[in-house]
A and B are shown apart, each in its own frame.
Chain A
Amino acid sequence: MTAVRATSLALRYGRTTALEDVSFSLRTGVTGLLGPNGAGKTTLLRIVATALPADGGTLRILGHDPGTPPGRLAVRRRLGYLPQDPGFHPSFTAFEFVDYVAILKELTHRSARHAEVARVLSAVGLDDRRRSRIRTLSGGMRQRLALAAALVGDPDLVILDEPTVGLDPEQRLRFRELIADLGERKTVLLSTHQTEDVMSLCQEVVVLDRGRVRFEGTPSELAGLAAGRVWTSTQRQAGALASWRTGTGLHRHVGDPPPGAALVEPSIEDGYLTLVGAATGAEAPATAGGAR
C-alpha cells in the first residue's frame, strides 16, 4: 500500500529554491533519504511531517491531503516524527517526557496512556530508566527516548531525521534493530548520512540533491549506478571521481576506469558518489568504519 505519494513538490525561501519538482512514493518498509548537506532533506521531511506547507505540487499522506485542516489532523493522528534536533524538557523524567508527548497525541485516559508510555519505553530498551531525569541520560539514551516519543500511539507513518547521528557503533546497531522491526509493519522514512544504515535497513532509497530527486529505487539499484566504474589498484590514480586507500592497502577508485582496470563490485556509496559527487563536489555520505 502506498502511504505517501508526492508529486512535483516545490518550496522556495525568498530567492532560494529549497525543493523543486520532487516526486516520490513511500510504501510499508523503510525508505532511506540520502543527500549532501543542504540538499533539502530536512525540509522535505518537515513537509511530509506536516510541519511545513509546500508551495506547489500535490501530497497525499495515508490517503489524506495535508493541505486541508481535517486532512492534516488525520495525518497527525497517525504520524510519528523524530526531528533532527529533538528537544527535551531536561527536568522531566523519561516517563514524564513520553507521557507529555502522549497527551499531545490526544491520549488523555490516564491508565491507558501510562500503559502506552510503558510499552514504548520498553520497546526502545529504556524500561529501567523511566524514572531517570533526562539530563542524566546519555546521548544514545536520549535518542532512544526521542524514538519512543515518536512511536507513541503506534503510528502508521514514522519519519526519522538522522536518528543515528552521534551514536556509537553499539547504540547504532540497537537503533537499527528497532527501526528494522518497525519497518516490517509500518512505513518509515529515514534521513541519514550513513550508507550502512541504508544498506542494512532500507528496501527503497531516494537521493535528493540541490532540492531535486536524483534517484528513486532499491539500494542495489543505487549501487548498480556505479557498475563498471569502480576498480582497485596499488597506486593512487589521478582523474578518478573519488579515490582512497582502503584497509587492505589497495586504492579504491570511482570514476571512468582506465583500460585493463581491476573492476570490483560497487557499493551503495559508490553509486551515490557516481550520482551526486561529480555534479556537486559535495561531501560523500559517511561510512561508519570506512578508511576514507
Chain B
Amino acid sequence: MTWHLLDDDIRAYAARTLAAPALWSAEAHLAACGECRERLAATATVDMGWALDVGWARLDAALDAPRPGPVERLMVLVGVPEHTARLLAATPALRLSWLLAIAVTATLTAAVAVLTDPVVFLAVAPLLPLVAVAMSFAPGIDPTYEIAVVAPVRSFRLLLLRCVAVLTATTALSTVASLFIHGYGLRATSWFLPSLALTVLSLLLSTRLGAAPAAVVTGVGWAAVVTATLGDRLVFTLAGQVGVAVVGGIAAVALSRQRGTYERYHVPNLTRRVP
C-alpha cells in the first residue's frame, strides 16, 4: 500500500460518523490494507466493535452479490442508476420474451404494410407500447404486484419508470421496423406521437379502470378514430399529428393531477381476487 487512511477518518469510521463517499473509500481500503485494519482495531473501543462487523458484512455482500443480467448491465451502461436498473429488470414487458414478441409483431406489421398499405404499420405501431405498459403494471402479470403495492416506493414513480423504459424499448423496435416503409418520407414516423398520446391516455384511464381495461378502451378508441378517418388518413397528416399532440398533452396534465390516485390503496383488480 502506498497510502493509508488518515487518523481522523479511522476515528470517524469507528464512530460511525464517516459519510459517503469517504466511507466507501475507507471500506475498500480497509479490505486491502492490514496495517489500517490494525490501526482501526486499536482505535475502536469494545463498543465500537460493531463497526468492523458492519464493514466486513458490507464487503462480503458486495463480493457475493451476483452479476446483473445483460438488460440490467446495458441500462447501467447508458447511465441508469444501479437500483433503478434492478427495479426495471423486474418489469414484465422488458423480459427478453416480451421484447422478442414486440419485435416480431413490429416486423410482421411492417412487412404487411410494405405489401399492402403503410397505414397498417402506422395504425398498429402505437398499440405496441400500450400493450407493453399495461403488461408492466397489471395484477396477475406482474408476479410481485401485491408486494409492490404495500412497498414504500411511490407507485406513481415506479409506474413512470417502467413506462419510460417500455416506451424506449418499443420505440426503438418500431423505429427499426419503420425503416422498411419506403416512399412515405417522414410520415413513416407518424406513429410516434400517437404512441406517446395513447400511453398517457391509457395511464390516465387506468386510475379509474385498472391497467388492462384502460389499455383495451384506449386501443379500441384508437382503432375507431383511425377507421373513421381512413379516407383522408387525417391522423397521420400534420393537422392530425397536432391534434394527437394536444390530446396527449391534455392527458399528461390530467395524469399529473391524478398521480395521487396511484398512492391510494384502492386496487380494483386486487379486491376482485379476494374470496
Contacts and interface: CB of A to CB of B under 8 A. Distances in A.
Interface stretch (A106-114, A178-186, A228-236, A270-278): A106-114
Contact of B275 (A42, A66, A103, A149): A42
B154 to A, nearest CB: 9
Given A49-B150, A113-B83, A118 B60 contact: yes
Contact of A117 (B61, B90, B153, B158): B61
B270 interface: yes
B62 interface: yes
B35 interface: no
Interface residues of A, number: 54
A292 interface: no
Contacts of B64: 95, 114, 118, 130
Contacts of A241: none
A51 interface: yes
A114 B59 CA distance: 9
A100 B87 contact: yes
A119 B57 CA distance: 8
B147 A104 contact: yes
B263 interface: yes
B146 interface: yes
B148 interface: yes
Contacts of B83: 103, 108, 110, 113
B82 A110 contact: yes
B65 to A, nearest CB: 5
A165 to B, nearest CB: 15
A38 B150 CA distance: 23
Given A51-B265, A69-B263, A110-B83, A104 B148 contact: yes
A118 B150 contact: no
A115 B58 contact: yes
Nearest to B148: A104
B27 interface: yes
Interface size class of B (residues with CB under 8 A): 35 or more
A81 interface: yes
A79 B147 CA distance: 11
Given A104-B87, A106-B152, A118-B57, A111 B146 contact: no
A157 to B, nearest CB: 11
Interface string B64-84: 111011000000000001110
Contact of A13 (B60, B151, B274): B274
A53 B274 CA distance: 13
A77 B153 CA distance: 9
Interface in A95-139: 95-96, 99-101, 103-106, 108-119, 130-131
A72 B152 CA distance: 9
A270 to B, nearest CB: 27
Given A95-B65, A104-B153, A114-B61, A109 B20 contact: yes
A228 to B, nearest CB: 35
Contact of B57 (A18, A101, A115): A115
Interface stretch (B137-145, B191-199, B236-244): B137-145
A237 B238 CA distance: 86
Interface of B: 20, 24, 27, 54, 57-62, 64-66, 68-69, 81-83, 86-87, 89-90, 95, 142-153, 158, 260, 263-267, 270-271, 274-275
Given A95-B64, A105-B152, A111-B61, 18 more contacts: A18-B274, A42-B275, A50-B150, A52-B267, A66-B265, A72-B263, A87-B147, A88-B143, A95-B65, A96-B89, A100-B89, A104-B158, A105-B151, A114-B64, A119-B57, A130-B66, A131-B66, A149-B147
3 tightest Cβ-Cβ pairs between the two chains A and B? A87-B143, A104-B151, A114-B61
7 contacts: A66-B265, A72-B265, A90-B143, A101-B151, A104-B87, A114-B61, A117-B65
